[in-house]
Structures are given as structure tokens and as C-alpha cells.
Amino acid sequence: MTDRDLLSTVFAALADPTRRAILTHLAQGPTTVGQIAEPFAMSRPAISQHLRVLEAAGLIERTVTAQWRTCTLRTEPLDEIASWVDRHRRYWDERFDLLEDRLRAGRDAPTTPRPQEENR
């Protein structure tokens, strides 16, 4: 998967508030699927679908031990997104700083008086 595909997949996974809430819950540590589903007013199959999307984006890892299905947060894709955002933030900060300098230079430049239009 290319970086752009990874970014698109991760951003799409993060676009849903339920999936973001699941990731917030998993930030506290590995959790069973049942514990993840508890706070949500939706079916287990719906939760499983959200987990599949998060897993496909590389944001979680699911393991099975006996009858327990545990999910663990994976931060590498979030690190990739943070890096992408930082690169773009630096670029736009530089562009805005340059614009500010030019606007300030234009404002501070001495102005030459305009010739008065003749009254006709």
C-alpha cells in the first residue's frame, strides 16, 4: 500500500465518530470486543464492522485467545498521519509568514501621492 493509499484508508477510518470513540477507548489498553461494544447502542455485528474497518486501516490488531477476542491500538498509522499533517503545517506556516512579510512591506512602503483628477 502506498503512503497516499494508507493516508486515505486511515482518514476514512477516522471519519466515523464511533470508530474514533473505539480508538479512544483502546488508548487505555487492550480490550475485549465485548467491552468495546458495551457503551454503544448498536448490534455486535455493527461493532464488528467498525473493528474490521479499523483493522484494515492498521489502527488496531485483533487477537483470539480461547473464546476471548482482544483488540489493541496500533499507533503507527497515526504517527504517519501526524507526520503528514506536520509537513503540510510547516509548508503553510512558511507560506503565510511570507504573505505576512509581503503585506507588511507593502503597508510600510512609502506611498507616492496620486495626481488629482482634473475637474471637468
- In this prediction, residues 67-81 reach a mean pLDDT of 92
Residue 20: other Cβ atoms inside 10 A:
13
Strands 68-73 and 31-32: antiparallel
Evaluate if residue 119 carries a pLDDT over 80: no
Segment 85-109, tens digit of pLDDT: 999 999 888 888 888 888 888 887 7
Class of domain 3-74: mainly alpha
Name the amino acid, one letter, at 65: T
Through-space distance between the first and last CA atoms of the chain, rounded to whole angstroms: 72
Give the pLDDT confidence of 4-49 residue by residue, as tens digits. 688 999 999 999 999 999 999 999 999 999 999 999 999 999 999 9
Instruction: Tell me the sheet residues that pair with 70.
Output: 32, 63
Residue-range domain boundaries for the chain = 3-74
